[in-house]
């Protein structure tokens, strides 16, 4: 049985749109983070990303992001369990927001952490499509 590879993307709806699934499976999940308050509209966070502690604290304390992600993590767990059981090789999970800088980066990072903790047997690859400088770790 092959190891499940989960590719997670943060992206911008305005710039690139939903990332193409290069695995040949034709897609996966796409979650729209634009319903969460945007820290990019707060002056002190404009130049930061979802990996910066100020942005993370804002999203965790001032928005519905924790509840949003809890719901998503419950939903994707159903599919991950099923894909592992059936021996599937690939799953793509995409998080989009306006600029692909704050909310989607945060959601992608937290989801990667969740999957790595709950499913240590799967491979997780994270891509921040609008923030290539953040892609140095997998």
Q: pLDDT (tens digit, 9 = 90+) per residue, 22-76? A: 888 777 999 999 999 999 999 999 999 999 999 999 999 999 999 999 999 999 9
Instruction: Please name which of 41, 53, 85, 107 lies closest in space to residue 93, comparing C-alpha atoms.
Output: 107
Would you say 106 and 50 are in contact if contact means Cβ atoms under 8 Å apart?
yes
Q: How confident is the model at residue 135 (pLDDT cuts 50, 70, 90)?
A: confident
Confidence band, pLDDT 50/70/90 cuts, at residue 136? low
pTM for this one? 0.94
Using the Cα atoms of residue 90, residue 68, residue 14 and residue 52 in order, give the sign of their dihedral. Answer: negative
Q: Compute φ and ψ for 33, nearest 5 degrees.
A: -90, 5
Task: List, in sequence order, the alpha helices (H) in 1-138.
Answer: 53-62, 65-86, 103-118
């Amino acid at each position: 049985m092959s190891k499940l590879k989960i590719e997670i993307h943060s992206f911008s709806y305005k710039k690139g749109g939903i990332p193409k699934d290069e695995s040949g499976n034709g897609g996966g999940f796409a979650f729209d983070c634009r319903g969460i308050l945007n820290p990019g509209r707060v002056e002190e966070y404009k130049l930061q990303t979802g990996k910066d502690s100020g942005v993370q604290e804002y999203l965790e304390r001032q928005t519905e992001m924790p509840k949003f992600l809890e719901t998503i993590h419950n939903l994707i767990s159903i599919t991950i369990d099923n894909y592992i059981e059936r021996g599937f090789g690939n799953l793509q999970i995409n998080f989009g927001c306006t600029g692909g800088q704050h909310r989607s980066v945060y959601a992608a990072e937290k989801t990667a952490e969740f999957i790595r903790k709950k499913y240590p047997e799967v491979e997780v690859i994270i891509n921040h499509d609008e923030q290539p400088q953040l892609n140095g770790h997998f």
